Amino acid sequence: MTIRLMESHSLPPEDQDATTAFPAIAVRLAQRYGSWLAGALLLVWAVYSIPAKVTEIRSPHGGPRLLLADVTPQTGNWPGYRGPSQQGIVQLKTTSGIATSQGHVPLWGHRTEGATSSPCVWGTQVMFVEQTTPNTARLVSLHRETGALLWSSGWTIAADADANQVLPTPTCDGDHVFLPVARAGRLHLQAWTMTGQPAWNCDVGPWSDPHASVVSPVLHGPLVIVAADQPRTAWSPWQTQSYVAGIHRLTGTIVWRTLRPDGASSGVPVVATVADRAQLLLAGRGSVRGYDPLTGREFWSCRWRTRQVVGGVVTDGQHVYAAGCHPEGDLICVRCDGSGDVTETHIVWRDRRLVVDPIALTLADNVLIHQQGDGTLLAVDATSGKMIWRKKLPGAISTPVLRYGSQLLCTDDNGTLHLLDLNRRGETVYEASLGANILASPAAIESGLMISTSQGMIRLKNGPGALVQEPRVTPQTR
């Protein structure tokens, strides 16, 4: 066996100098750039440890200290989104509903520019939002009887806002008109007097998506409640930006603000007495929840797979019914007398087959009307969730229906009114063409309607005949 001995060679002097000098150079580099690296790491740690931009604001026990009388709309008023109950139910003086021999005749028309919201009506005023350009909007008030312009108040919104998005419906308490406005990455709740003078402006919180629809506010006791369900920001995807807040309607002060799960959605908050307690009901991405409307404290939550909600929920006083959008939509009925996570204990029924393009839900006694965007109406047994009948209207529908006792009034996008009889499986009572596209849900007042169309805001009154006459829309002084 031969063992070869390896020869040892010494490095040249210049290489020896480089070898001995390397540690010194490394130390100097570490000293020079180490502080920068440490600073960068500290900055990253600081960014990742920053709490959510939206902080919760807790209300004093029992609600706000400065109490106000509850809002009590007069007969014939339509104070906000889907009327006094927020569920599209028209209070009738008689139980007969709309007579089958009646149609609608126009009283007046007011020409508008661009998109308009659903109107709210209080006393002699009809108020709505008009977006004339992608970055300009205004609140308009018309006289209820004549259609004359009473006042308007304008503002500038985000330059890249979508002019075709759904505009929020203003709400009114008889002293002020309230409207949420998205501007410069913030959501503001603004209040005007009944003469159009600015009363206060409340910065409710951040608003990350200028293309998202700002939802309509709701009144309860001394508060105006507004919800902002929105996606997480790109730079901090772990931080939620969604919230619901209660603002004092006299002072504009935030009384409470509660964080919600993130996710772009336009669920409208609904306040009602449910399971013997006042509850704020709100459906959004991943859950349907019930809150104390005076304090913002969460009563219960129910998980579902829905990612997005359009419009509000409905309730029968014991249950809440909610529908989410396709492809992971849900139609769900939940008992509202629980606490905490009630997913496993309080779901009465759910159906994932019926949800395609939900627009709104409407309750008619024990029948739940599920409205689809293509003009399909599904009548579902509210107790079992089983479908009773289905009806397809000729045109697409983007606006919630109105319930008149045992009848439904539907307005399709092409401008046709459809009156349906619920007792006869949705049989059509009459149809009437307005001759203009309908842009938003009507307001029902004094046996008539206030409707936003592509030609302008018009007032219709019940009258003889099955077809309406085309209203003459006249320009008003601006």
Task: Give pLDDT, residue 26.
Answer: 52
At the second CATH level, the architecture of 265-398 is Beta Barrel (2.40)
Domain-wise residue ranges, the chain:
91-107+399-478, 119-263, 265-398
The count of other CB atoms within 10 Å of the CB of residue 175 is: 14
The architecture in CATH of the region 119-263 reads: 7 Propeller (2.130)
Give me the residue label for tokens 């002020």. 176
CATH (one of 2.40.50.140, 1.10.3720.10, 2.40.10.480, 1.10.132.20) for 91-107+399-478: 2.40.10.480
pLDDT of residue 113: 80
Alpha-carbon gap, residue 257 to 268, rounded angstroms: 16
Per-residue pLDDT of the chain (478 residues; tens, 9 = 90+): 433 333 334 444 444 444 445 456 555 655 666 666 666 666 655 544 555 567 888 877 666 766 777 787 777 899 999 999 999 999 866 444 444 445 678 889 999 887 889 999 999 999 999 987 777 889 999 999 999 999 999 887 655 555 556 789 999 999 999 999 988 889 999 999 999 999 999 999 998 877 778 899 999 999 999 999 988 765 555 555 899 999 999 999 999 999 998 888 888 999 999 999 999 999 999 999 999 999 999 999 999 988 888 888 999 999 999 998 877 788 999 999 999 999 999 999 999 887 667 889 999 989 999 998 889 999 999 999 999 999 999 989 989 999 998 999 999 999 999 999 999 999 998 888 888 888 899 999 877 899 998 889 999 887 544 334 444 444 543 3
- Phi, psi angle pair for 47, to nearest 5°: -65, -45
- Whole-number pLDDT of residue 273: 96
The DSSP secondary-structure symbol of 387 reads E
Nearest residue to 283 (alpha-carbon basis) of 350, 200, 202, 185: 350
Q: How much is the pLDDT for 278? A: 96
Please list, in sequence order, all residues whose beta carbon lies within 8 angstroms of the beta carbon of residue 477, skipping any fewer than 6 positions away.
149
What's the helix, strand, coil split of the chain in %, to 5?
10, 45, 50
CA distance 404 to 91: 7
pLDDT at res. 352:
84
| Cα 322 from Cα 288, distance rounded (Å) | 8
pLDDT for 235 equals 57
Read off the pTM.
0.84
Predicted local confidence at residue 104, as pLDDT: 73
SS3 category, 301: strand
Cβ-based burial of 196 (10 A; exposed 0-12, middle 13-18, buried ≥19): middle
Per-residue tokens: 242: 């969604």
> Which amino acid is it at 270?
V
Element (H, E) at 17: helix 13-49
Q: What is the pLDDT of residue 237?
A: 53
The candidate with the shortest Cα–Cα distance to 169, out of 117, 212, 218, is 117
The token duo for 337 is: 């007398």
Pairing verdict, β 223-228 and 218-220: antiparallel
- What residue type is assigned to position 242 of the chain? S
Pairing of strands 176-183, 331-335: unpaired
- Spatial CA neighbour of 141 closest among 461, 471, 457, 470: 457
Contact predicate 391/397, CB 8 Å: no
Residue position matching structure tokens 């005949």: 465
Residue 478 Cα to chain centre, angstroms: 30
Position 1 scores a pLDDT of 42
